[in-house]
A and B are shown apart, each in its own frame.
Chain A
Amino acid sequence: MDEETIFYIAATFLVGTIAIFGLGGLGAFATLGFLLVACSWILILIINYADFLVFPLVTKLFKLRIVPAKNYYIPPAQTCIIKNANGIYYAQGYLTANIYNYVFSAERPENDESSNKAEGPERWERIVMNVKFPFKYHLISAAEDIQQYRDDLDARRGALEFQMSKEMMTGNPSQMAIDDFQRRINILESRIDKLSTGERPINTIMYIETTAFGVSEKAAMDALDDQIHQMETVFNSFNLSIARVVGREVYLLFKFNYAIPSNIEAMKKVFHEQS
């Protein structure tokens, strides 16, 4: 959890806590009050971790249509962005394409990493051959400062080694804890080794965009749904976690069509980093 998240959660939870102090002595109403405060905390956590569930509910409930630019609008379902041009509705939808976390958490490089790299271009061309509609594969990347990244990894490794040695020096060291510390140290050392071989750390945002059309909004959105399902199937051959983008991030990705984050700090703020 980053500092900004901690601040927002702490501030809003504190307000609820203040309310609880005033509920004492209200009898049955106190229970109702505690329940309401608990519900607000749960709602805040849902908004923080899964706002793609909440925002579309609100827009569908109030039938809100968002206009991000001339000739474009985001329908209440928040699943796509639609352009109306020449009497035709063009629906653009997005899929995130994230590398599975286990790749970054590997303790040792895969034995068949070379063959995976060799298969990559062919797998990509096979996808292109099997898709019969327009799509775009986007990768926004920014290289990190190697020295800073290396220093950060060294610091984290040092902290873990210190914790592990503390655990070992206790009267009854937990083997499970020691194994866990060792595993995490191995992961960090694997990343340091990768830096030594010349690989550079990068921040990335990967996503796929596809466009469907129709004579009506519904026709375009239905065609887009079909295309999205097909994209999910064909991109399964890559080692990626594919998920449809819903909610406020549709607007963010629409903006990326014209202007990407202009510096690495802005890029990090937009989405969570892939660790």
Chain B
Amino acid sequence: MASLDLRTLLFVIFISVSLLFMVFVDVLPISPVWKILLLVVGLFFDVLAFSVRFYSYIMLPILRNKKGVVELNLDDPFIFAPSNNAIIIRDADAIFASVYIKIPIYKSATEMLDQEKEAFAKVFGNLVTVSKNPVRFTSQFYIINKDGYVDKIKDKLNESEEKFRSIELNKDAKHEEVDRAKGELTMWHNMYDNIIKTQSYSLVSYVVVTAEGGTNEEAVNLALQYADEAVAGIGAILGVTPNIVSGEEMLLFMEPDYSIPLSTITEQIKQKTLSEGGV
């Protein structure tokens, strides 16, 4: 509503200024050169008045820009609701709350017969009509964060290295024991090399619902209500049990740095630098 008022206000101001200049062009007894100059200024405000339709949100920030930086919002794009199962977003004076709902689908098209695939496509068609309020369905393909898993493999690798060294140094150790320890060490080495060099991916499907409210609590409660309706509808159509996402798990669906683990980035930059002949 506030943005609509700002848009109307800016439009009225610009079109009025433009009209004023056009009236000057028509009425003032001045030289043609001055009339053309006034015409140019008037047309500039005329085009600005039209631009208000799409760009009212940015016009005042552009006027306030410092060294080319146009600041629309310097705050975080969202905050977590106290219940931790929703996020709260402020857009001008409006308050919105969004809830994320994960849909557990584990069947692949490769496991389906043609009739099953057609039925699934029809079911998806019913799914998108689950609500009169806008609902966002997203399929997200992301790189799995394997850091915890890699650390465990590294611990195992270190353990088997220690074991191999101690067996090697033991003069009474049998040949088979040494071979077994060496084999185990090689296995963990290969597993570690394989895991850090290859990326693992995952595909997750989820739904987002948003509600507007006068206060944070009102927006969150309404969003959770929409979410419950969506959960019931999706569960009935797909025959699965969707669940509302809470806490930091939501960050995977919103923040780009969570869809690519830092360790993957570091590894790729290292490989790129090596391949380019860097230090």
Contact A213 B265 (CB under 8 A): yes
Contacts of A124 in B (CB 8 A): 109, 139
Contacts of B255 in A (CB 8 A): 83
Within A61-94, which residues are at the interface with B (CB < 8 Å)? 62-70, 72-73, 76, 83, 85-86, 88, 90, 92
Contact B260 A134 (CB under 8 A): yes
Bitwise, A1-19 to B at CB < 8 A (1) or not (0) is 0001100110110011011
Contacts of A23 in B (CB 8 A): 25, 35, 39
Contacts of A110 in B (CB 8 A): none
Given A19-B39, A114-B118, A118-B117, 12 other A-B contacts at CB below 8 A? A11-B15, A29-B35, A47-B50, A63-B68, A67-B73, A92-B256, A120-B117, A121-B112, A128-B141, A132-B199, A137-B138, A211-B259
A59 to B, closest residue via Cβ: B70
For residue A51, give the distance in angstroms from its CB to the closest CB of chain B: 6
Contact A258 B87 (CB under 8 A): yes
Contacts of A203 in B (CB 8 A): 134
Bound-state CA distance A178–B255 (Å) is 55
Please report B residues at the A interface, Cβ cutoff 8 Å.
Answer: 11, 15, 18-19, 22-23, 25-27, 32-33, 35-36, 39-40, 42-43, 46-47, 49-51, 53-55, 58, 61-62, 65, 68-78, 87, 89, 91, 96-98, 108-110, 112, 114-115, 117-118, 120-122, 124-125, 128-143, 199, 201, 203, 208-212, 254-257, 259-260, 262, 265, 269
Contact A32 B36 (CB under 8 A): yes
Q: Given A11-B49, A125-B109, A258-B87: A33 and B36 within 8 A (CB)?
A: yes
Q: Given A67-B73, A92-B256: A15 and B133 within 8 A (CB)?
A: no
Contacts of A22 in B (CB 8 A): 22, 25-27, 35
B4 to A, closest residue via Cβ: A269
Contacts of A266 in B (CB 8 A): 134
Contacts of A125 in B (CB 8 A): 108-110
In this assembly, does A53 line the interface, its C-beta being within 8 Å of a C-beta of chain B?
no
Q: Given A67-B71, A121-B120: A44 and B47 within 8 A (CB)?
A: yes
In this assembly, does A262 line the interface, its C-beta being within 8 Å of a C-beta of chain B?
yes
B257 to A, closest residue via Cβ: A85
Q: How big is the A interface, by class?
A: 35 or more
Contacts of B128 in A (CB 8 A): 139, 141, 143, 202, 204
Contacts of A134 in B (CB 8 A): 140-143, 256, 259-260
Contact B15 A260 (CB under 8 A): no
Q: Given A22-B26, A88-B262, A213-B260: A122 and B140 within 8 A (CB)?
A: no
Bitwise, A110-154 to B at CB < 8 A (1) or not (0) is 000011011111101100100110111111111101000000000
Contacts of A202 in B (CB 8 A): 128-129
Bound-state CA distance A136–B108 (Å) is 18
Within A181-211, which residues are at the interface with B (CB < 8 Å)? 199-200, 202-204, 211
In this assembly, does A158 line the interface, its C-beta being within 8 Å of a C-beta of chain B?
no
Ordered by A's residue number, 9 sampled pairs between the chains whose C-beta atoms are within 8 Å are A19-B26, A44-B47, A90-B260, A115-B118, A128-B141, A136-B138, A257-B77, A262-B96, A266-B134
In this assembly, does A215 line the interface, its C-beta being within 8 Å of a C-beta of chain B?
yes
In this assembly, does A164 line the interface, its C-beta being within 8 Å of a C-beta of chain B?
no
Contacts of A119 in B (CB 8 A): 117
For residue A245, give the distance in angstroms from its CB to the closest CB of chain B: 14
For residue A15, give the distance in angstroms from its CB to the closest CB of chain B: 5
Contacts of A55 in B (CB 8 A): 55
Bound-state CA distance A85–B131 (Å) is 36
Contacts of B135 in A (CB 8 A): 140-142, 260
In this assembly, does A171 line the interface, its C-beta being within 8 Å of a C-beta of chain B?
no
Q: Given A134-B141, A260-B134: A47 and B54 within 8 A (CB)?
A: yes
CB contacts between A and B, total, < 8 Å? 258
Please report A residues at the B interface, Cβ cutoff 8 Å.
Answer: 4-5, 8-9, 11-12, 15-16, 18-19, 21-23, 26-27, 29, 32-33, 36-37, 39-40, 43-44, 47-48, 51, 55, 62-70, 72-73, 76, 83, 85-86, 88, 90, 92, 114-115, 117-122, 124-125, 128, 131-132, 134-143, 145, 199-200, 202-204, 211, 213, 215, 248, 251, 255-264, 266-267
Contact B262 A141 (CB under 8 A): no
Query: Which of B78, B137, B256 meets A90, CB within 8 Å?
Result: B256
Bound-state CA distance A122–B71 (Å) is 44
Contact B70 A16 (CB under 8 A): no
Contacts of B98 in A (CB 8 A): 258-260
Query: Which of A211, A215, A255 meets B260, CB within 8 Å?
Result: A211
Bound-state CA distance A134–B114 (Å) is 29
Query: Which of B39, B72, B138 meets A67, CB within 8 Å?
Result: B72
* In the complex, the 5 A-B pairs of residues with the closest C-beta atoms, listed nearest first: A22-B26, A121-B109, A117-B121, A69-B77, A29-B32
Q: Given A19-B25, A27-B32, A64-B68: A258 and B77 within 8 A (CB)?
A: yes
Contact B70 A66 (CB under 8 A): yes
Bound-state CA distance A76–B78 (Å) is 24
Contacts of A261 in B (CB 8 A): 134, 210
